[in-house]
Amino acid sequence: MRNALGSVDTVLLLGGRSEIGLAIVERLVRRGARRVVLAARGAATPGGAAPAAGDVLSTAVAQLERLGAEVHVLDFDAARPETHAALIEEAAAKVGDLDVVIPAFGVLGSQAVYDADPVAAARDVAVNFGGHVSIGLAAARRLREQGHGTLVVLSSVAGVRVRKANFVYGSAKAGLDGFAQGLADALHGSGARVVVVRPGFVIGRMTRGMTPAPMAVTAAEVADAVVEALDTRKGTVWVPARLRLAFAVMRLLPRPLWRRLPR
């Protein structure tokens, strides 16, 4: 439940090493969130040991604790949907009602690799789409039972109109975007809601070595837009905002012209 000042109090980040996800969590903690769960693959060994010092996750925990948050770390594997419902309940057992849930995991992959290895393509789609469907439904069930809370779905402009340069990744994002919109409608009136975030090219670890596309943004800019959406109760966020107009035009391009866009 939001605290007495109306700020988010509890946050669950699924994909606890995500640059965008951690940037959102840091902003929420600076604004008053005090209980955080970071769920990530390899977050704990079978013996219960925490990640090694220097790991992105350990660094994030230390930073959030310095900012005054109580931080819990859980092991999470997006490729194991049979574990997702229990993970949501374990997070709620640690911090109580979940105010904001942020699934921020995925694999960018390479179209050339996918062309040569369809099995790799199917495996990554299972994470980029199937993993989000599984954890999204489990989180939505929890938020509906609470009667409040927001699921932040990190979609992409790559799914608004799929390009040949990354059509396997783009098709997974297109499915995720449709899923998020449908889930938002299903939750309407329950007190819980969904925010769909559509960033353009995000400069960061995931895209290191790639040439930024026009209107590229940083993880910090995406995080700022998400926090604003949580405040204003927007349902869909384009980052940067002018991408919305750009894609209104791009959607109308004839396919022969669309195919000619540079890879």
Give the count of alpha carbons within 13 A of 54, CB side only. 0
What contacts 24+ positions apart, CB below 8 Å, involve 220-229?
A: 220/23, 222/20, 222/23, 222/24, 222/154, 222/197, 223/20, 223/23, 223/24, 223/26, 223/27, 224/27, 225/197, 226/24, 226/152, 226/195, 226/197, 227/24, 227/27, 227/28, 227/31, 229/195, 229/197
Q: What is the four-CA torsion angle of 33, 192, 232, 176, rounded to 10 degrees?
A: 100
Compute how many other C-beta atoms are within 10 angstroms of the C-beta atom of residue 201: 18
Tokens of residue 205, six digits:
């670890």
The partner residues of 102 in beta bridges, in order of sequence, read: 13
The one catalytic residue among 76, 105, 129, 169? 169
- 169 a catalytic residue: yes
Q: What is the four-CA torsion angle of 28, 238, 222, 261, rounded to 10 degrees?
A: 160
- Closest Cα partner for 29 from 14, 13, 15, 9? 9
Catalytic positions, please? 169
